[in-house]
Amino acid sequence: MAAQYIIDAGPAVADGAAGAARLAAEDVTVGYGGRTVIDGLDVKIPPGVITTIIGPNGCGKSTLLRTLTRLLKPTAGTVVLDGEDIGRLKTRTVAKKLGLLPQAPVAPDGLTVADLVARGRHPHQSWLRQWSSDDADVVEKALAMTGVADLADRPVDSLSGGQRQRVWISMTLAQGTDLLLLDEPTTYLDLAHAIDVLDLVDDLHESGRTVVMVLHDLNLATRYSDNLVVMRDGAILAQGHPRDVITAELLEEAFGLRARVVDDPVGDRPLIVPIGRTHVRLD
Partner 1 sequence: MSGTRARVSGPDVNGSSADGAGVSGSDVSGTGVNGTGVKPSVTPGVRFGGVSFVWRPYVVLVTLLLAVATFLVFCLSISIGDFPIGLSRVMATIVGRGEQVDEFVIMDLRMPRAMAGLVVGVALGVSGALTQSIARNPLASPDILGITGGASAVAVCLVTVSGGAAAAVVSSVGLSAAALAGGLGTGLLVYFMAWRRGIDGFRLILIGISVSAVMEAITTWLLVTADVRDVARAQAWLVGSLDNRSWDEVWVALWCSLALLVVVMAVAFQFKPLHLGDDVAAGLGVRYSRVRAVLLLCAVLLAAVAVSAAGPVPFVALVAPQVAMRLARCPTPPLAASGLVGALLLIGADLTARTALPITLPVGVVTAAIGGPFLVYLLVRANLR
What residues between 219 and 278 interact with partner 1 by CB under 8 A? Answer: 226, 241, 267-268
Site for partner 1 in 44-103 (CB under 8 A): 49, 69-71, 90-96, 99-102
Residues between 105 and 164 that touch partner 1 (CB under 8 A):
105-112, 114-116, 118-120, 122-123, 125-133, 135-136, 138-150, 152-153, 155, 162
Return the range that interacts with partner 1 (CB under 8 A); candidates 2-10, 35-43, 195-203, 273-281.
195-203
Angle at 108 (CA atoms; ends 104, 113), nearest 5 degrees: 80
Shortest Å, Cβ 108 to partner 1: 4
Burial label for 47, CB within 10 Å (0-12, 13-18, 19+), is buried
Q: How far is CA 147 from CA 77, 127, 164, in A?
A: 40, 31, 11
Site for partner 1 in 11-50 (CB under 8 A): 14-15, 49
In the bound state with partner 1, the residue whose beta carbon lies nearer, of 38 and 225, is: 225
Which CB sits closer to partner 1, 56 or 155?
155
Q: Are 17 and 10 in contact (CB under 8 A)?
A: yes
Among the listed residues 34, 83, 192, 283, the single contact to partner 1 using CB under 8 A: 192
**Is the alpha carbon torsion for 245, 248, 251, 254 positive or negative?**
negative
Instruction: Let me know the angle formed at the C-alpha of 162 by 224 and 60, rounded to the nearest 5 degrees.
Output: 55
Which residue, 14 or 280, has its beta carbon nearer to partner 1?
14
Q: Of 211 and 237, which has the nearer Cβ to partner 1?
A: 211
Is the Cβ of residue 80 or residue 169 nearer to partner 1 in the bound state? 169
Q: Is 8 in the site for partner 1 (CB under 8 A)?
A: no
8-45: burial string, b at 16+ Cβ within 10 Å, e else? ebeebbeeebeeebbbbbeebbbbeeeeebbbebebbb
Per rule CB under 8 A, count of chain residues that contact partner 1: 85
Nearest CA-CA partner of 178 in 71, 98, 124, 89 = 98
